[in-house]
Amino acid sequence: MPTPPGWHRPFDPVDALARAILFQQLSGKAAATIVARVETAIGSSRLHADTLGRVDDAALRACGVSGNKALALRDLAKREVAGEIPSLRRMAWMADIAIIEALVPVRGIGRWTVEMMLMFRLGRPDVLPVDDLGIRKGAQRVDGLDAMPTPGELAARGARWGPHRTLAALYLWKIADAAAGATQAVPRSQT
């Protein structure tokens, strides 16, 4: 299976998390439009505390950013300034669970978002996002189950797949996409 585009290439964790916040619960096209508006408003393609600080919440709202997402961006920026967001260099030496524990306290960043970063940006080989519906649907199909496995059931089954759970996740997504009749892979993350 070919590696996904962008797999394990250098990236900026704060910028990636800010974009993940902006892309949540929106179509890719709508989110890309909002991101472009924010970049124009801050005068930079780099979403960080220093650049986001150039605009107030009203300006973010005018770009199409919801109130909750504006609060999440402000929390991310505050934590960046406080040194709570690990750098890419530091993440290279951190265990997966340590990265998850460092980032999920950020408002608007959940475990799934961090797992996508671990898989698609850091190239970590042993991540199984058990809460992901596509992965659960793929496992349901593989096992011929009437219902999707619960996250706990999938975690227990997936324990045998270590240390290659990321590869298992990629296959489960492909299986779910094929079962749904998708003609191309469903985009999984903006992280």
Any idea which residue has 């898989």 for tokens?
119
Q: What tokens appear for 85 in the block?
A: 């967001």
Angstrom distance (rounded) from CA 125 to CA 46: 28
Q: Which of 75, 96, 132, 143 is catalytic?
A: 132
The neighbour count for residue 97, using CB atoms within 10 Å, is 10
Angstrom distance (rounded) from CA 128 to CA 89: 23
150 DSSP assignment: P
- Orientation angle between helical segments 13-23 and 67-81, nearest 10 degrees: 170
Any idea which residue has 């519906």 for tokens?
133
Q: Residue length, the chain? A: 191
The neighbour count for residue 55, using CB atoms within 10 Å, is 19
Instruction: Please say if 132 is a catalytic residue.
Output: yes
Q: Which residues are catalytic?
A: 132
